[in-house]
Amino acid sequence: MRAILEREPGWVVCGEATTGREALAKALELKPNVMIVDIGLPEMNGLEVTRRVRESSSVAVLIVTVYDEDQIVNEAIRAGANGYVLKADAGQTLADAVRAILRDGKFFSERVHAAADFTSSTRQTRTRREHSERLTPREREVLQLLAEGRANKEIAAALDITTKTAETHRARIMAKLEVHSMSELVRYAIRNRIIEP
Q: What would the pLDDT profile of 118-152 be if each residue is shown by its tens digit?
A: 444 333 444 444 455 688 888 888 998 999 899 99
Q: What would the pLDDT profile of 40-80 be if each residue is shown by its tens digit?
A: 899 999 999 999 999 989 999 999 999 888 888 888 999 99
Contacts of residue 138, Cβ cutoff 8 Å, sequence gap at least 6? 159, 169
196 within domain boundaries: no
79 within domain boundaries: yes
The parent domain of residue 174 ranges over: 123-191
Last residue of a domain, one of 97, 117, 137: 117
User: How many structural domains is the chain composed of?
Assistant: 2
Last residue of a domain, one of 117, 148, 173: 117
Asked whether residue 88 falls in the same domain as residue 185, the answer is no
Give the C-alpha separation, 195 to 57, whole Å.
Answer: 25
Confidence of residue 111 (pLDDT cuts 50, 70, 90): confident
Last residue of a domain, one of 117, 146, 162: 117
Asked whether residue 82 falls in the same domain as residue 146, the answer is no
Average pLDDT over residues 8-31: 94
DSSP-derived 3-state class of residue 86? strand
DSSP-derived 3-state class of residue 90? helix
Asked whether residue 131 falls in the same domain as residue 63, the answer is no
Asked whether residue 74 falls in the same domain as residue 131, the answer is no
197 within domain boundaries: no
The share of the chain scoring above pLDDT 90, in percent, equals 53
CA distances in angstroms from 83 to 117, 127, 185, 189, listed in the order given: 13, 25, 29, 23
More confident residue, 172 or 127: 172
Average pLDDT over residues 107-127: 59
pLDDT at 181: 84
93 within domain boundaries: yes
Confidence of residue 84 (pLDDT cuts 50, 70, 90): very high
pLDDT at 122: 38
Confidence of residue 18 (pLDDT cuts 50, 70, 90): very high
78 within domain boundaries: yes
Q: What is the mean pLDDT of the chain?
A: 86
Asked whether residue 29 falls in the same domain as residue 84, the answer is yes
